[in-house]
Amino acid sequence: MQTYLDHLVVERGLAANTLTSYRRDLRRYAAFLATREVDRVDAVGPADVAEFLMRLREGDEEHRPLGASSAARTVVAVRGFHKFALREGLSAHDPAAQVKPPAPPQRLPKALPLSDVEAILSAAAAGGTALSSRDAALLEFLYGTGARISEAVGLDIDDLDLDSGLVRLLGKGSKERIVPLGSYAAQACGSYLTRSRPQLAAKGKAGGAVFLNGRGGRLSRQSAWAVLARTAERAGVGAAVSPHTLRHSFATHLLDGGADVRVVQELLGHASVTTTQVYTLVTVDRLREVYATTHPRALG
């Protein structure tokens, strides 16, 4: 194990904090193997590694149970150690190859209440300048289409058809999809493209980009993020808000309104409906809340 740790320092340049965690994890692993009277790396079997993972999650007299992320880090250290031992000829087999780290708990996406979204969009439209017009168009576009921030800043004028109310988005893996553009987003984008974008484009080489920065170039992801953060602060929305929050809100509000999950899948550009179904967990909570507050016999 010490040879492996030395390798991580010299060959991999592992950070000091990470190395400390690996050393602690491997010491715990060695102590566990000692209780099973295993004192050679080539004597470790898959059952030993699997039992160690179980002990991590359940805890013992000396250790509290570890959460999925902490247990996963420990398993990564153990798997790396056995891969190293196999590669260096210290063992003829890798007993950890089939032991997978525990999956982290599924985190529910955080969606804003509709009132917060409306407050942000109203604040964006209140400026009266070319940049505030751009901000309003950008945020209406993000919430109106559920686009990723990369899809929004990568948007070109040819991708936007305001007459038909459709937009072409280039998603992950260069996959294109066509999504509808709501009337509020279409109006905000139309006003920006007609009145404000030409002012910004005159300051630089805009190319075909829809959303421009103050110097006339394509708006960056970081700048788009800052636009939303500033606007949310002006709107008095205290929750942490990111462009992805608007995407989450778009999906959640659609499902709350009765949209089919497969339709939302297409709108979001998810390759699998499984990815989209995490939003249904949010709406189930909403259903439970509505039931509890409205059904005459929901509460005792």
Asked if 92 contacts 210 with a C-beta cutoff of 8 angstroms, the reply is no
Picking from 18, 34, 33, the residue whose alpha carbon sits closest to that of residue 96 is 33
Angle at 100 between CA 98 and CA 106, to 5 degrees: 155
Backbone angles phi, psi at 59, to 5 degrees: 80, 175
Nearest alpha-carbon partner for 132 in 221, 230, 217: 230
| Nearest C-alpha neighbor of 220 from the set 153, 142, 151 | 153
Which residue stretches of the chain are H helix?
A: 2-10, 16-35, 46-58, 68-87, 114-124, 130-145, 149-153, 183-191, 197-201, 221-234, 243-256, 261-268, 273-276, 278-294
203: helix, strand or coil: coil
DSSP designation for 159 = G
Query: Catalytic residues, which ones?
Result: 148, 172, 244, 247, 270, 279
Query: Residue 167 pairs with which residues in a beta bridge?
Result: 160, 179
